[in-house]
Structure 1
Amino acid sequence: MLESFHSRKDDVTGALRDLVTFAESLGAKSVAARITNDLVKKLDADRFHLVVVGEFNHGKTTFVNALLGASILPVGVTPTTAVIHHLEYAADPRAEVVYASGERTGLPFEDVRAFTVGGERSSSAGEVKFLEVGYPAELLRERVVLVDTPGVNDLSLQRADITYSYIPRSDAVLFLIDAGQPLKESERVFLQEKLLGQSRDKILFVVTKRDIWSQDEEVEALAYIRSELGKLVKSPVVFPISSERALEGDRPGSGMPELLDHLTRFLAEERGRILLDNALGEGIESARLLGKGVDARRRATAMSRDELSRRIEMIEKDLAGQSRTIEERRAGIREEVSAIRAWVHRDLDRFVDDVLRQLPAIIDEAHTDEIKVYLGAFLERTFAEWAQAETKEIATALEALAEKTIALVREDAHDVAKRVSEALGGDVKTPNVEVDTFGYDVGVFALFTIGLGVMFTNALLGGILALAAPVLAVYVKEKVEAETRKKAKEMAPIALREAATRIGPKLDEMIQEFASRLDAWVVTAGQELHREVIEVLKAAREERVQAEPSSESQLKACDAQAEALQALTSRLEGLRSALWTVENGESRPIPPPVSSVPNAPGGSA
Structure 2
Amino acid sequence: MLEGFRERKLDVTVALQELSDIAQSLGAKSLKDRLERELVKKLEEDRFHLVVVGEFNHGKSSFVNALLGENVLPVGVTPTTAAIHHLKFSEKPEATVVMQSGNRESIPFEETRRFAVGGGKSADEIDYLEVGYPAPLLKERILLVDTPGVNDLSLQRADITYSYIPRADAVLFLLDAGQILKESERQFLNDKLLKASRDKIVFVITKWDILNEEEKREALAYARTQLANLVKDPVVFPISAETALAGRADESGMPELLAHLTTFLAEERGRILLDNALGEGINATNLLAKGVDARRRSLAMKTEELERRIKVLEDDLKGQAGTIEQRRMRIREEISGIKVGAQKDLERFVDETVRQLPNVIDSAKKDDLRKFLPAFLEDTFRQWAEAEGKEIAHKLEELTEKTIALIKEDAHEASRRVASTLGTDVKKLDIQIDTFRYDASVAGVLMLGIGTMLAVNVIAGGALIVAAPLLALVVRDRVDAEYKKRANEQAPEVVKAAAAQIGPKLDEMIEEFAKKLDAWVVTAGEELYREILEVLNATRDARASGEKDEAAAKAEVEAQDSRLGKARSRIEQLRGSLWTPKDKLRIADGSAAIAGDAA
Report the Cα distance in structure 2 between the residues aligned to 1:258 and 1:82, rounded to whole angstroms. Answer: 29
Change in Cα spacing, 1:221 to 1:84, as seen in structure 2 (3 Å) is: same
Counterpart for residue 522 of structure 2:
523
Change in Cα spacing, 1:455 to 1:151, as seen in structure 2 (3 Å) is: closer
Report the Cα distance in structure 2 between the residues aligned to 1:80 and 1:501, rounded to whole angstroms. Answer: 26
Counterpart for residue 286 of structure 2:
288
Q: State the one-letter code of the partner of 1:560.
A: A
Report the Cα distance in structure 2 between the residues aligned to 1:152 and 1:447, rounded to whole angstroms. Answer: 32
Shifted more, 364-373 versus 63-72: the winner is 364-373
Shifted more, 124-133 versus 274-283: the winner is 124-133
Q: State whether residues 34 and 438 of structure 1, in contact with CA within 8 Å, keep that contact through their aligned partners in structure 2.
A: no
Matched, 1:413 2:414: no
Q: State the one-letter code of the partner of 2:214.
A: D
Counterpart for residue 471 of structure 2:
472
Counterpart for residue 319 of structure 2:
321
* Residues 233-312 of structure 1 aligned to structure 2 (within 5 Å): 233-312=231-310
State the TM-score, normalized to the length of structure 1. Answer: 0.92
* SS of 1:432 mapped into structure 2: coil
* SS of 1:410 mapped into structure 2: helix
Report the Cα distance in structure 2 between the residues aligned to 1:203 and 1:488, rounded to whole angstroms. Answer: 40
Counterpart for residue 32 of structure 2:
32
Report the Cα distance in structure 2 between the residues aligned to 1:378 and 1:435, rounded to whole angstroms. Answer: 46
- Please give the per-residue CA displacement for 1:294-330, whole angstroms capped at 9, x wherever unaligned: 0000001111111111110011111111222212111
Aligned-pair CA distance for 1:480: 4.7
- Please give the per-residue CA displacement for 1:252-292, whole angstroms capped at 9, x wherever unaligned: 11111111111122222222211111111111101111100
Matched, 1:16 2:25: no
Change in Cα spacing, 1:44 to 1:493, as seen in structure 2 (3 Å) is: farther
* SS of 1:113 mapped into structure 2: helix
Q: State the one-letter code of the partner of 2:422.
A: L
Counterpart for residue 454 of structure 1:
453
Change in Cα spacing, 1:64 to 1:443, as seen in structure 2 (3 Å) is: closer
* SS of 1:473 mapped into structure 2: helix
State the TM-score, normalized to the length of structure 2. Answer: 0.93
Counterpart for residue 362 of structure 1:
360
- Please give the per-residue CA displacement for 1:153-207, whole angstroms capped at 9, x wherever unaligned: 2222222332333222322221111101111222222222232233222221110
Instruction: Give ranges in structure 2 of 5+ residues lacking alignment.
Output: none
Report the Cα distance in structure 2 between the residues aligned to 1:237 and 1:129, rounded to whole angstroms. Answer: 31
Shifted more, 513-522 versus 531-540: the winner is 513-522
Change in Cα spacing, 1:242 to 1:12, as seen in structure 2 (3 Å) is: same
Matched, 1:542 2:541: yes
Aligned-pair CA distance for 1:122: 5.6
Aligned-pair CA distance for 1:80: 9.0
Report the Cα distance in structure 2 between the residues aligned to 1:547 and 1:260, rounded to whole angstroms. Answer: 61
Change in Cα spacing, 1:595 to 1:560, as seen in structure 2 (3 Å) is: closer
Change in Cα spacing, 1:384 to 1:198, as seen in structure 2 (3 Å) is: farther
* Residues 147-158 of structure 1 aligned to structure 2 (within 5 Å): 147-158=145-156
Q: State the one-letter code of the partner of 1:92.
A: K
Report the Cα distance in structure 1 between the residues aligned to 2:259 and 2:475, rounded to whole angstroms. Answer: 42
Q: State the one-letter code of the partner of 1:501.
A: A
* Residues 21-100 of structure 1 aligned to structure 2 (within 5 Å): 21-76=21-76, 79=79, 82-100=82-100
Q: State whether residues 366 and 479 of structure 2, in contact with CA within 8 Å, keep that contact through their aligned partners in structure 1.
A: no
Shifted more, 151-160 versus 478-487: the winner is 478-487
* SS of 2:435 mapped into structure 1: coil
Match of 2:421 among 401, 420, 423: 423
Counterpart for residue 104 of structure 1:
104
* SS of 2:145 mapped into structure 1: strand
- Please give the per-residue CA displacement for 1:35-80, whole angstroms capped at 9, x wherever unaligned: 1222222222222222212122211111111111101122249659
Q: State the one-letter code of the partner of 1:59.
A: G
Matched, 1:222 2:212: no
Q: State whether residues 412 and 431 of structure 2, in contact with CA within 8 Å, keep that contact through their aligned partners in structure 1.
A: no
Counterpart for residue 211 of structure 1:
209
Report the Cα distance in structure 2 between the residues aligned to 1:273 and 1:576, rounded to whole angstroms. Answer: 9
Instruction: Give ranges in structure 1 of 5+ residues lacking alignment.
Output: 597-602
Q: State the one-letter code of the partner of 2:112.
A: V
Change in Cα spacing, 1:150 to 1:588, as seen in structure 2 (3 Å) is: closer
Q: State whether residues 281 and 593 of structure 1, in contact with CA within 8 Å, keep that contact through their aligned partners in structure 2.
A: no
Report the Cα distance in structure 1 between the residues aligned to 2:74 and 2:593, rounded to whole angstroms. Answer: 44
Q: What is the aligned-residue identity percentage?
A: 58
* SS of 1:151 mapped into structure 2: coil
Counterpart for residue 565 of structure 2:
566
Matched, 1:393 2:394: no
Q: State whether residues 440 and 595 of structure 1, in contact with CA within 8 Å, keep that contact through their aligned partners in structure 2.
A: no
Counterpart for residue 376 of structure 1:
374
Q: State the one-letter code of the partner of 1:236.
A: P
Shifted more, 101-110 versus 128-137: the winner is 101-110
Counterpart for residue 599 of structure 1:
none
Change in Cα spacing, 1:593 to 1:76, as seen in structure 2 (3 Å) is: closer
Aligned-pair CA distance for 1:412: 2.0
Change in Cα spacing, 1:462 to 1:266, as seen in structure 2 (3 Å) is: farther
Report the Cα distance in structure 2 between the residues aligned to 1:168 and 1:495, rounded to whole angstroms. Answer: 30
Counterpart for residue 491 of structure 1:
490
Report the Cα distance in structure 2 between the residues aligned to 1:501 and 1:585, rounded to whole angstroms. Answer: 48
Change in Cα spacing, 1:188 to 1:238, as seen in structure 2 (3 Å) is: same
Q: State whether residues 446 and 452 of structure 1, in contact with CA within 8 Å, keep that contact through their aligned partners in structure 2.
A: yes
Change in Cα spacing, 1:548 to 1:226, as seen in structure 2 (3 Å) is: closer
Q: State whether residues 407 and 521 of structure 2, in contact with CA within 8 Å, keep that contact through their aligned partners in structure 1.
A: yes
Matched, 1:594 2:592: no
Q: State the one-letter code of the partner of 2:132.
A: G
Match of 1:340 among 317, 338, 341: 338
Q: State whether residues 58 and 178 of structure 1, in contact with CA within 8 Å, keep that contact through their aligned partners in structure 2.
A: yes
Change in Cα spacing, 1:129 to 1:445, as seen in structure 2 (3 Å) is: closer
Q: State whether residues 79 and 150 of structure 1, in contact with CA within 8 Å, keep that contact through their aligned partners in structure 2.
A: yes
Change in Cα spacing, 1:269 to 1:377, as seen in structure 2 (3 Å) is: farther
Change in Cα spacing, 1:184 to 1:314, as seen in structure 2 (3 Å) is: same
Q: State whether residues 418 and 428 of structure 1, in contact with CA within 8 Å, keep that contact through their aligned partners in structure 2.
A: yes
Q: State the one-letter code of the partner of 2:578.
A: L
Aligned-pair CA distance for 1:433: 2.7
* SS of 2:381 mapped into structure 1: helix
Aligned-pair CA distance for 1:125: 4.6
For these two proteins, the number of residue pairs brought into alignment is 594
Change in Cα spacing, 1:296 to 1:441, as seen in structure 2 (3 Å) is: same
Q: State whether residues 96 and 106 of structure 2, in contact with CA within 8 Å, keep that contact through their aligned partners in structure 1.
A: yes
Change in Cα spacing, 1:349 to 1:174, as seen in structure 2 (3 Å) is: same
Report the Cα distance in structure 2 between the residues aligned to 1:274 and 1:238, rounded to whole angstroms. Answer: 23
Aligned-pair CA distance for 1:213: 1.8
Q: State the one-letter code of the partner of 2:514.
A: A
Change in Cα spacing, 1:472 to 1:270, as seen in structure 2 (3 Å) is: farther
Q: State whether residues 77 and 116 of structure 2, in contact with CA within 8 Å, keep that contact through their aligned partners in structure 1.
A: no
Report the Cα distance in structure 2 between the residues aligned to 1:62 and 1:122, rounded to whole angstroms. Answer: 24
Q: State whether residues 442 and 595 of structure 1, in contact with CA within 8 Å, keep that contact through their aligned partners in structure 2.
A: no
Report the Cα distance in structure 1 between the residues aligned to 2:378 and 2:122, rounded to whole angstroms. Answer: 27
Q: State whether residues 38 and 440 of structure 1, in contact with CA within 8 Å, keep that contact through their aligned partners in structure 2.
A: no
Shifted more, 199-208 versus 127-136: the winner is 127-136
Shifted more, 136-145 versus 398-407: the winner is 398-407
